[in-house]
Structure formats: C-alpha cells, structure tokens
Amino acid sequence: MQVKLNEDLGLSRIIAGVMNWGIWGSDLSPEKVNSLIKNCIDLGITTFDHADIYGNYTTEKLFGEALNLGGIDRSQIQIITKCGIKMPCDNRPDIKIKSYNNSGAHIFESVKNSLENLGTDYIDLLLLHRPSPLLDPHVVADAFLRLKNQGKVKHFGVSNFEPVKFNMLYKSVPVITNQIEASVLNLDAFTNGILDNALSRGIKPMAWAPLGGGKLFQKSKDYEFVTQRARLKEVADKYGWTLDEMAYKFLLHHPSQILPVTGSSKIERIKVAVDAVADKITDEQWFEIWSASKGQDVA
C-alpha cells in the first residue's frame, strides 16, 4: 500500500529505516542488505530511509553496494536521505564539533556524496535532518530549487522541525513531509502542534523510533518506565497484541496518516509493522493506549 505525499511521490505505508543495518547496528554485508531489500519489497515496503551520517557516513555506501549486486529495480523503490548534521568521526577528521549546517554549500556537498555513495542518479526525497538556529529559508529554498532543476533531488522535506520553523521554510519551498519522533513512549508530537500543523497543511508525517528506539523491549531499572510498560502490556494482552503490534497500530490510527519508519534489520520484526496496517483499531482502543502510556485518563 502506498501513500501519496503529493501528485508525483508515493511512499510505502511502512518505511524501512536503514540506520541499524550498517556499523551502528547489525553490520550487515552488502549481500545481506541486498537480500533484506528484496524481502522488504516482497512485503510491499518500497521506501528506504537514510541519512548521510548513518554508520559514521558509511551506511549509504553499504546500501549502494547492495543495489549494485542486482535484482532490484531502482525505479520501483524510493530512497529518502537526510543532511544537515555535521558529526565528528574518523571518516570526517575535518569536523571538530557536532553542529547543524543548513547552508546551500553543505546541502550541495551532502547530496553529491549521497548520490555517489548510493550509486544512483537521483534522490526521491531529501530531508533537512535538524533545523539549525542559523537556518535561512531563502538559502535553503534556492539550494532545493537548483537541485530539483538539476534532477538530483525530486522532492524535499524536513525532519525534527517544530511548527514555527516548519512554517517559515514552508513559505519559501514546497516541503512535503516532516519526519518526527513519535511513539507510545513519546507523545509530544500529539500535543505540541507538530501533528496538528501537518494535518492543517495536508502534510503526511513520518515517525522515527516508532518503538521508542527499542526501549519498549529493553530491560530497565527505571520504576516509572517499567510501570508505564506494564500498563501498556496490559492493554496489548487484553486484545491479543504484542507490544510492537500495538505501538504501530497506535501511530497508524492517527488522521495525519503517519508513516512509521522501522528501525530493525530483521525482516520478521519489520513484518510486524506491515501486518499492523491491515488490522485497524477503534478510537476507544487508541485512547486506552494513550491513557496507559500517560498513567491516567484524559481530563
């Protein structure tokens, strides 16, 4: 199932996040990444989410090497990548401090590197990874327009933008999505105006860390979190759901049509998200999950 972000771009309802496919996670070989991409496509997942910094600037190249092994039609998949964070690491010895850079020069250099590493002629969707306090919307708009005219990037969006910054940029350039953190463990986007702003503009957002970055399943000595998870598990058990099934259903139910970005490199874990699309929940069930997360009923 695809969701149209605009007239020209459709993304799969579930997006495969690749951050943990490389050295930041499972450290898969190109052959295993190639197989995982094909398995995702078989499940109906055609959209893959990157950022230039993932794997200390190595995961895009890993993905490109996997594509080069063949058996994957580039025109049938959508590649998302992000830029705007400068991160010190061995692969970038010239970077001395972690910072945000939304300048035209940095955007152009990042896209050049991403295209080379991914082994592709174009990026389907480029996101600014974080809003810089020094962001100039006119500079970004100019860079985006030039990249589009050159055919290097087809569409643009942002990530982690609150409404004020989003709207400021939206006035200058057609950004079509906002990738934000949202989950049963992080409800901020439901109340701070981010999702309301998306709805008002007809923007379909994406959600990273839909399972709380794996925290939903991690051992913890934090009493408050342990009790929160116990409340959530009680709701899941009531309906015969696993915790991750419930977490995906919660996000998918929102009227803004949130597109969850999975974080796993295991196809069976990714499949849970796909299966959750078909099994709808009611508004009452959604509020049961909300109340369990908050530890109290709505006022």
Look up the CATH number of the domain holding residue 89. Answer: 3.20.20.100
- Class of residue 128 by CB neighbours under 10 A (exposed 0-12, middle 13-18, buried 19+): buried
Look at residue 294 and tell me if it is in a domain.
no
What's the whole-model pTM score?
0.97
Angstrom distances, CA of residue 199 to CA of 159, 168, 238, 256: 16, 17, 31, 5
* Residues of the domain holding 203: 2-217+251-278
Look at residue 174 and tell me if it is in a domain.
yes
Amino acid 289 reads I
Q: Does residue 279 register a pLDDT over 90?
A: no
Count of other CB atoms within 10 angstroms of residue 194: 22
**Active-site annotation, residues:** 54
Residue 1 confidence (pLDDT): 79
Q: Does residue 287 register a pLDDT over 90?
A: yes
Determine what percent of the chain is predicted with pLDDT higher than 70: 100
Look at residue 234 and tell me if it is in a domain.
no
Look at residue 116 and tell me if it is in a domain.
yes
Say if CB 79 and CB 50 are below 8 A apart: yes
Residue 14 confidence (pLDDT): 98
Beta carbons within 8 Å of 244's beta carbon, 6+ residues apart: 211, 216, 217, 269, 272, 273
d(CA 5, CA 7): 7
**β-pair type (2-4, 10-12):** antiparallel
Look at residue 287 and tell me if it is in a domain.
no
User: Where would I find the beta strands (DSSP E) of 36-135?
Assistant: 47-49, 78-83, 85-86, 99-100, 123-128
pLDDT, tens only, 160-199: 999 999 999 999 999 999 999 999 999 999 999 999 999 9
**Domains of the chain: total:** 1
Beta carbons within 8 Å of 233's beta carbon, 6+ residues apart: 243
pLDDT, tens only, 80-114: 999 999 999 999 999 999 999 999 999 999 999 99
Look at residue 295 and tell me if it is in a domain.
no
Look at residue 223 and tell me if it is in a domain.
no
Angle, helices 163-170/137-149, rounded to nearest 10 degrees: 50
Amino acid 80 reads I
- Measured in residues, the chain has a length of 299
Per DSSP, what are the bridge partners of residue 89?
A: 92
d(CA 294, CA 299): 12
pLDDT, tens only, 19-69: 999 999 999 999 999 999 999 999 999 999 999 999 999 999 999 999 999
Look at residue 235 and tell me if it is in a domain.
no
Going 262 to 56 to 39 to 77, the CA torsion angle's sign is positive
Residue 149 confidence (pLDDT): 97
d(CA 154, CA 22): 26
d(CA 291, CA 275): 24
d(CA 261, CA 252): 11
